Structure 1
Amino acid sequence: MVQSKSCMAGCAGKTARVLLIVFNILFAVCGVTILAVGIWLRVDPSVVQLQELVNLDSKNPNLANAAYILIGFGGFMLLVSVFGCCGGIQKSRILLGLYIACLVIIFIGQITAGILAALYKTDVEHTIESNLLGVLENDYKPGRTKYTQPWDYVQVWLHCCGVHNYTDYKDIKFGVGQMVPLTCCILENEDPNDPMPKNNTRCQLEANQTVAGEFLKPLGCLDGVTNAIKEYDGILIGVAIGIAVIEILGILLACCVCKNIHSEKLA
């Protein structure tokens, strides 16, 4: 009877270790994904230009910091998954204890980040709007590549024009007959460095008449950014919930493995 219980405990311990390793592989995959997203935010030309555009009128490079936070968080998740796998394979209570502590920290951090994101969402939107308007109203002038290039990239990428719409350019002096940048027009290509409007004459005419039509983009870039974020809201929430579930299961499995290791030593 005692031998049977010992055998069952051993099987349960092995099962827990296997599951722990499997969950940590999934956790590592999540870490790699987050790391990749962070790197993408720092290397994709359109996203980088959006970051520069928002940061031009701000002393706080929040978007760039967000990318680095994701990179650091993804790397930390990879490290934690190594602790979990090694702890399970080597039956190390020290590594498993460290693993549990790290998961608790990550879990608390996720909850805190979610609360802060909900609380400061409106403030962030206002900051982005204020920074974009500041750059457009105070610094944007044809020929000033530092300010015009980011706008061109963003307007091509998000298919938008201006902050709220094309009327934001009404006080900016372009060439004769030009009311808005070429990237505000409906384009035949997706090249911000060499935009080719379908009909530039009609586009500028629509801008002059303040009526967006067939050849002028009606969407403002602030709405474009908001729409782009909303498009991935569901995915982000789903990933966050999935990671949280993996973390909770990882903590429970690690505790089971630790208990089993302790029992084996006493036996």
Structure 2
Amino acid sequence: METGMKFIKYLLFIFNLLFAVSGITLIITAAVIQGLYSTYLDFLGNEFHSAPMLFIIVGVVIFLVAFFGCCGAVRESNCMMITFSVFLGLIFICELAGGIAAYVLRNDVDVILTENMYKAQQQYNVTGHEGVTETWNIMQNEVHCCGVQNYTDWANTTFSHGVNVPDSCCIEYTAGCGLNMILSPDADQRLWTVGCVPELAKQVKHKAGVFAGIGVGIAFIQLIGIVFACLLAKAIRGSYHSV
């Protein structure tokens, strides 16, 4: 019994070290994704920003719980092991739910982006909405896109007057390069003709898929920790009864 308990204790200790690393990995991954898409805050719904924040919080909790689990394993405390198992179970549920939610949200990306970007187009170059204007310029320049579905979407905005597009739509950027480009016969050669929704949605879906995979993967790894903790708690109770 003593040898088996020591073996489980060492396995649990090693697991908690890996568990702590997984918490740090989750924090870094969520922070990177949050940083990448903070620029597009005006286009993405709150759901896409709350998910990374949830995983950052869960990552911090994982790190603290892993430390608690290490202490419980070293001290061979039955109470700490039971508490550790309960914490792991709650974290498992949160991560699994977050991972599934991130995956499900992938199906809504196109609709959310389209709706929000059409609204944001009407605020382009409008006083008081400088952040929206900057977001459009950054996105069109970095993603190499123009408009929502294509560059002609700008014709329906106050900024355009039916003929202009932002200079950030131009393949070769120069001040005023977007003037009268909607009616220009060579617009297809001088502007990014692909809409921003298809390009941005493709990137967001990929990142959401990776995010969901990591979250669900770590969640199932935690099941191993729950099993080890329960086995150690059972062994500790057995040792008490044998005394």
- TM-score class, shorter: 0.7 to 0.9
Match among 155, 160, 165 for residue 145 of structure 2:
160
Q: Provide the aligned length of Structure 1 versus Structure 2.
A: 241
> For 1:124-157, what per-residue CA distance to the aligned partner results, in whole angstroms no more than 9, with x for missing partners?
54233212211113x2236652321111122233
> TM-score scaled to structure 2, two decimals?
0.81
1:4 is matched with none
SS in 1 for 2:43: helix
Tell me by how many angstroms 1:211 deviates: 7.1
Alignment of 1:185-204 (within 5 A): 185-186=170-171, 197=173
> For 1:137-183, what per-residue CA distance to the aligned partner results, in whole angstroms no more than 9, with x for missing partners?
3x223665232111112223333222222122113365899722222
Match among 43, 46, 49 for residue 54 of structure 1:
43
Is the CA contact (8 Å cut-off) linking 2:165 and 2:180 kept in structure 1?
no
Tell me by how many angstroms 1:84 deviates: 1.6
Identity %: 29
Q: Which amino acid aligns with 2:221?
A: I
Return the alpha-carbon distance in structure 2 between the equivalents of residues 111 and 247 of structure 1: 11
> Does residue 172 of structure 1 match 2:157?
yes
> Does residue 27 of structure 1 match 2:19?
yes
Return the alpha-carbon distance in structure 1 between the equivalents of residues 56 and 100 of structure 2: 21
Q: Which amino acid aligns with 1:246?
A: I
2:125 is matched with 141
Is the CA contact (8 Å cut-off) linking 1:185 and 1:200 kept in structure 2?
no
SS in 2 for 1:140: coil
Tell me by how many angstroms 1:221 deviates: 2.0
1:99 is matched with 84
Alignment gaps of 5+ in structure 2: none
Alignment gaps of 5+ in structure 1: 1-8, 188-196
Q: Which amino acid aligns with 2:31?
A: I
Tell me by how many angstroms 1:116 deviates: 4.2
Is the CA contact (8 Å cut-off) linking 1:199 and 1:215 kept in structure 2?
no
Which has the higher relative contact order, 1 or 2, with Cα contacts under 8 A spaced 6 or more apart? 2
> TM-score scaled to structure 1, two decimals?
0.75
Q: CA RMSD in A?
A: 3.2
Task: Tell me which moved more, 224-233 or 67-76.
Answer: 224-233
When residues 84 and 115 of structure 1 are mapped into structure 2, their CA distance, relative to the original with a 3 A threshold, is same
Tell me by how many angstroms 1:49 deviates: 2.1
Tell me by how many angstroms 1:70 deviates: 2.3
> Does residue 254 of structure 1 match 2:229?
yes
When residues 75 and 157 of structure 1 are mapped into structure 2, their CA distance, relative to the original with a 3 A threshold, is farther
2:168 is matched with 183
Tell me by how many angstroms 1:205 deviates: 7.3
Tell me by how many angstroms 1:210 deviates: 7.7
When residues 257 and 169 of structure 1 are mapped into structure 2, their CA distance, relative to the original with a 3 A threshold, is same
Return the alpha-carbon distance in structure 2 between the equivalents of residues 39 and 209 of structure 1: 43
Alignment of 1:45-124 (within 5 A): 47-51=37-41, 53-54=42-43, 61-117=46-102, 121-123=106-108
